[in-house]
Amino acid sequence: MGGTRIAGLGHHAPARVVANAEIEARLGLDEGWIARRTGIRERRWAAPGEAVSDLAVPAAAMALAQAGIAPDAVGLVLLATSTPDHLLPPTAPIVAHRLGLSCGAVDLTGACAGFLYAFVLAEGFVRTTGRAALVIAANILSRRIDPDDRMTAALFADAAGALVLAPDPRPEAGLLASALASDGAGYDLIQIPAGGSRRAMTADTPAREGRMVMRDGRAVFAAAVDIMVSSCRQVLWDAGIAAKEITCFAPHQANGRMIAAVAGRLAIGPERTLSTLAEFGNTSAATIPFSLSQAKAARRLGQGDLLLLAAAGAGLAGGAAIYRL
C-alpha cells in the first residue's frame, strides 16, 4: 500500500486591506496597541455581498490547477467553515459545483481546528478509496465580530486556503501520526450566543448576541497552548520523531504570542515556523492551509519534508498531525 501526497495548494484573500490604525481609531486605542498584543499589522475583510463560497472557489481552483488532476479523480470535498453561505444547505456542494466537480461534498464545523480535522479525515479517505480529496477552509469572520469589542475586532479576518490530497506510490509519504483532542469544559469560552437551536435569533434578540464573544482571553490562551503542545508531543512520540527533525511547523495563526508560546515549548525556532499572521490576521480554520500555500509559493516546502500541524479553537477542540511530503 502506498501513501498520500499534497498534490496542490491554494489560497485566496479578499481585496480590502484593513490596517490596525483603522480599528485603533474606532476603538480609541493607542497607536501600535494591536500589533504589540497580537502581532497583527493588517487583515483582509470581505466586500458586502461576498460569501464564503466566493473565497473558497478561487483557493480550491488554485489547488486543483497545481495538482493537475482530472475532475473525476476527486472523490470528496470537505469544507471547514464556521461562516457558511447559509445555515442550510451546506456550502460545500455549491463550491464543488462551481469547480466542475460532482463528487461527495460536505461542510465540517470545527472552528479554528476545522481544517486539521478535515485534513485527517480526508487523508484516511484517500488511503481507503484511492481517490483524491479536496480540503478547503474558508471563513468570513469580519461579519461575526463585535466591532466595539477589542478582543475580537483586532484578531479576526477573512480568507480561504485549500489543498488536494492524492494517492502516492511512496509508502513513507503521508500522514505519520495524528492526535485529535477536545475539552468541553471550555465550551463557552468562545461562542456566538444566539443563532443555534439552543437560543434562536428573534426580533427581540440584541444584535450583539449574534456576534462572537471571547469571555476570558487568558483562559482561552492557556487552554489553546496546552492542547496544541500536548497534541504535538503526542504525535512526535507516536511517529518516533524528534522536534529537531521537523522541517516546518504550521500552527494555527491565532495570535503572535500563542504561536511563540507553542513553538517555544516544543523547541522549534522561528526559522522553521510558518506565519502569515502579521499580514492576514486570524482567519480561523483557513490559517494553516493558507500559510502552507504561501510557503509552497515561496519554495519553502519540498519532497520529503516533515510538517507538524497544530490547531486549537472554540469548543474547545484541537489537535496535531505530522505529515511527510
Which residues are the active-site residues? 112, 252, 282
From the list 281, 309, 317, the residue with the least C-alpha distance to 135 is 309
Q: For residues 130-159, b (16+ Cβ closer than 10 Å) or e, as one string?
A: ebbbbbbbbbbbbbbbbeebbbbbbbbbbb
Give the CA dihedral 272, 274, 278, 279, nearest 10 degrees.
130
From residue 14, alpha-carbon distances to 20, 222, 226 in Å are 17, 31, 32
Task: Output the nine-digit C-alpha cell for 192.
Answer: 456566538
Task: Output the nine-digit C-alpha cell for 10.
Answer: 491554494
Give, as one character, the DSSP assignment of residue 46: P
Task: Output the nine-digit C-alpha cell for 283.
Answer: 482567519
From the list 263, 257, 248, the residue with the least C-alpha distance to 295 is 248
Is the Cα dihedral 110, 115, 117, 121 positive or negative? Answer: positive
* Residue linked to cell 505519520: 176
Intra-chain end-to-end CA distance of the chain, in Å = 17
